[in-house]
Amino acid sequence: MKWRLRREQSRVQKQGDRIAATLEPAPQVGSVPAQRQQSADTQHTGSSSEPDARPEGRRSRGHRIPLRKLGDVPSFRYKLEESMRRTVMLREHHETPDPLWAINDKLGGYEFAARLGVDHPEVLGSYTSTREIDFAALPDRFVLKTRILSTNRGVKALVRLSGGAYHDLLRDRVWSVSELHADHARLEATKAGPLPLMVEELLTKPERPNDVVDDWKLYCFDGVVGLIMQRDLMGSPEQMDWRFKYWDTEFVDLGAIKDVERHDSSLEAPRFPDQLIEVAERLSRGMGRPFVRIDLLESGRGPLLGEFTPHPGRPQVFLPEYDSQLGRLWEQAEARIVARDITAGRWSHLSGGRQDQLVDLRSR
């Protein structure tokens, strides 16, 4: 029986090696431009973190091990679930909230982006309850949203009608002020707690003033944009009516790599493609975290921050090759962050405070 087990283990290992071999070296999703990848690898260090950048005499034997020999192929879906589990453990077992969630609050995200020179929709007010809002003092068109919910829950794009009611462009329905109060109370009941709100300017498409602008959701890995998702709500509150398109960083259509039944190749490219990439890279670099999805909006002022999404909603199921490529980007981002910590001396206590000893160990 033992020889059968060893034979089966060998067969599985060889099969895994063949699969991994097709992914090494792992191409970026849609081929991230080389200069962008190099910039991310060299930021804060001044030199590349890739093994080939070191002099021959300073490479360790570990750098010669093919990645396919180090385990299964990477997976974005797994890394995302791992990050979610870590967040729960921090909160429930260590009573330490992940600081990343400070910018999950939309106002906190806006403040962080502003410190990095990135604009956001104009905020008209922040409130603890809808009953604090003086609706009569607001402009005729505005967005009412909760500060922490996702997937458009609690978000209303409102246009004032005669008589004091409001047409919601996202749901194609009319709300009275009393109905707005009741709907927010319903949301708070489902969350068993208060949900602070904010009011901000309403952004619509230039050619269709009753359609809100598309969302551009950029999957970012420590300064490297790996994938861009475009979402058009199609003027409908029903998620099954929404349409999606996936782009690489050169804005080439990647096809139906996710949301197959809702993929729409007719969606148009952004007006400011290079600016979208630059803004997302800047925000991602400033965070120092291996992954976050950055949601941007286009306006006449250029790209604006919509929100940060540390954990995009389930299910994040991509075609296998893209799941692997995004997972590899996540792993590479983690390695860059550790490399920066080492270079900054964060781990020098392991060598008695001698940074040069760490360098010598790498070359043995």
The tens digit of pLDDT for each residue in 104-128 reads 889 999 999 999 999 999 999 999 9
Distance CA 219, CA 310 (A): 10
Residues 244 and 99 in one domain: yes
Residues 17 and 152 in one domain: no
Given a cut of 50, whether residue 161 has pLDDT beyond it is: yes
Interval 82-102: pLDDT, tens: 999 998 999 888 888 888 888
Determine the structural domain holding residue 309 and report its residue range. Answer: 1-119+206-364
- Are 304 and 121 a contacting pair, CB within 8 Å? yes
Domain boundary among 152, 179, 202: 202
- Are 73 and 23 a contacting pair, CB within 8 Å? yes
Distance CA 257, CA 176 (A): 41
Number of domain units in the chain: 2
Residues 103 and 239 in one domain: yes
- Structure tokens that stand for 119 in this block: 């604009």
Given a cut of 80, whether residue 146 has pLDDT beyond it is: yes
Residues 242 and 329 in one domain: yes
For residue 207, give every residue at least 6 positions away whose Cβ sits within 8 Å of its Cβ, in sequence order, or none.
Answer: none
- Are 39 and 223 a contacting pair, CB within 8 Å? yes
Residues 113 and 129 in one domain: no
Residues 230 and 338 in one domain: yes
In the chain, what percentage of residues exceed pLDDT 90? Answer: 56
Domain boundary among 202, 220, 239: 202
Interval 322-341: pLDDT, tens: 999 999 999 999 999 999 99
Residues 94 and 223 in one domain: yes
* Res. 13 pLDDT band, cuts 50 70 90: very low
Interval 272-310: pLDDT, tens: 999 999 999 999 999 999 999 999 999 989 999 999 999
Of 170, 163, 259, nearest in space to 217 by CA? 259
Q: Which residue has the higher pLDDT, 73 or 132?
A: 132
pTM: 0.79
Please tell me the predicted confidence (pLDDT) of residue 56: 40
Please tell me the predicted confidence (pLDDT) of residue 350: 84
- Average pLDDT (64-84) is 77
Other CB atoms within 10 Å distance of the CB of residue 290: 21
Given a cut of 80, whether residue 219 has pLDDT beyond it is: yes
Residues 224 and 328 in one domain: yes
CATH of the domain at 360: 3.30.470.20
Residues 247 and 364 in one domain: yes
- Structure tokens that stand for 115 in this block: 């410190």
**Mean pLDDT taken over the chain:** 82
* Res. 352 pLDDT band, cuts 50 70 90: confident
Please tell me the predicted confidence (pLDDT) of residue 212: 93
Given a cut of 80, whether residue 264 has pLDDT beyond it is: yes
Residues 243 and 267 in one domain: yes
- Average pLDDT (18-27) is 42
Please tell me the predicted confidence (pLDDT) of residue 235: 78
Please tell me the predicted confidence (pLDDT) of residue 360: 53
Domain boundary among 182, 202, 222: 202
Please tell me the predicted confidence (pLDDT) of residue 155: 92
- Average pLDDT (224-253) is 92
Q: Which residue has the higher pLDDT, 94 or 24?
A: 94
Q: What does the H/E/C string look like for 132-191?
A: HCCHHHCCCEEEEEECCCCCCCCCEEEEECCCCCEEECCCCEEECHHHHHHHHHHHHHHH
Residues 127 and 70 in one domain: no
Given a cut of 70, whether residue 3 has pLDDT beyond it is: no
Please tell me the predicted confidence (pLDDT) of residue 1: 43
- Are 174 and 161 a contacting pair, CB within 8 Å? yes
- Average pLDDT (53-58) is 38
Among 34-43, 137-146, 230-239, 340-349, top mean pLDDT goes to: 137-146
Mean pLDDT is lowest, of 7-11, 131-135, 286-290, for 7-11
Residues 145 and 114 in one domain: no
